[in-house]
Amino acid sequence: MYAQLVKTAGTGVKTREEMSDEERNFQDRVDRDEKIEPKDWMPDDYRATLIRQIGQHAHSEIVGQLPEGNWITRAPTLERKAILLAKVQDEAGHGLYLYGAAETLGVTRDELTEELLSGRMKYSSIFNYPTLNWADIGAVGWLVDGAAIMNQVPLQRTSYGPYSRAMIRICKEESFHQRQGYDIMMKMAAGNDAQRRMAQDALNRFWYPSLMMFGPSDKDSVHSAQSLAWKIKIDTNDELRQRFVDQTVPQAKYLGLTIPDEHLKWNEDRGAHDFSEPDWTEFFNVIKGKGPCNVERMEARVKAWEDGAWVRDGLMAHARKKTAARTAAE
Partner 1 sequence: MAGKTNDDALFQFLLRMGDNSLILGHRVSEWCGLSPVLEEDIALANTALDLIGQTQFWLGLAGEVEGKGRTADDLAFLRDAWDFRNVLMVELPNGDFGQTMMRQFLYDAWSQVMVGRLIKSGDKRIADIAEKASKEVAYHVERSADTVVGLGDGSEESHARMQAAIDYLWPYVGEMFDGDEVDAAMVAAGIAPDPASLREEYDALVNKVLSEATLKVPTDVFHHKGGRTGYMHTEHLGHLLTSMQWLQRAYPGATW
Nearer to partner 1, 208 or 305 (CB): 305
Residues in region 207-266 near partner 1 by CB under 8 A: none
From Fe ion, partner 1, none, interface partner of 303 (C-beta below 5 to 8 A by class): partner 1
Q: Could you say whether residue 91 binds Fe ion (CB under 5 A)? A: yes
Cβ partners under 8 Å of residue 305, min gap 6: 113, 117
Interface region with partner 1, contact rule CB under 8 A, candidates 167-175, 220-228, 288-296, 304-312: 304-312
Query: Helices 44-63 and 78-103 sit at what angle, rounded to 10 degrees?
Result: 160
Contact (Cβ atoms closer than 8 angstroms) between residue 47 and residue 106: yes
Interface region with partner 1, contact rule CB under 8 A, candidates 24-32, 87-95, 144-152, 166-174: 87-95
Q: Measure the CA–CA gap between 215 and 8, rounded to whole angstroms.
A: 14
CA angle 55, 59, 153 (to 5 degrees): 75
Give the count of beta carbons closer than 10 Å to the beta carbon of residue 172: 10
Contact characters 104-123, partner 1, x per CB under 8 A: -----x--------------
Nearer to partner 1, 311 or 328 (CB): 311
Q: Measure the CA–CA gap between 12 and 229, rounded to whole angstroms.
A: 10
3 state SS of 266? strand
From partner 1, Fe ion, none, interface partner of 33 (C-beta below 5 to 8 A by class): none
Contact characters 126-165, Fe ion, x per CB under 5 A: -------------------x--x-----------------
Q: Measure the CA–CA gap between 103 and 100, rounded to whole angstroms.
A: 5
The two most distant CA atoms of the chain are separated, in Å, by: 78
3 state SS of 298? helix
Residues in region 161-190 near partner 1 by CB under 8 A: 184, 187, 190
Q: Could you say whether residue 295 binds partner 1 (CB under 8 A)? A: no
Cβ partners under 8 Å of residue 252, min gap 6: 203, 258, 259
Residues that bind partner 1 (CB under 8 A): 62, 65-66, 69, 72-82, 85-86, 88-89, 92-93, 95-96, 99, 109, 134, 184, 187, 190-192, 194-195, 300, 303-305, 307-319, 321
Residues that bind Fe ion (CB under 5 A): 61, 91, 94, 145, 148, 174, 177
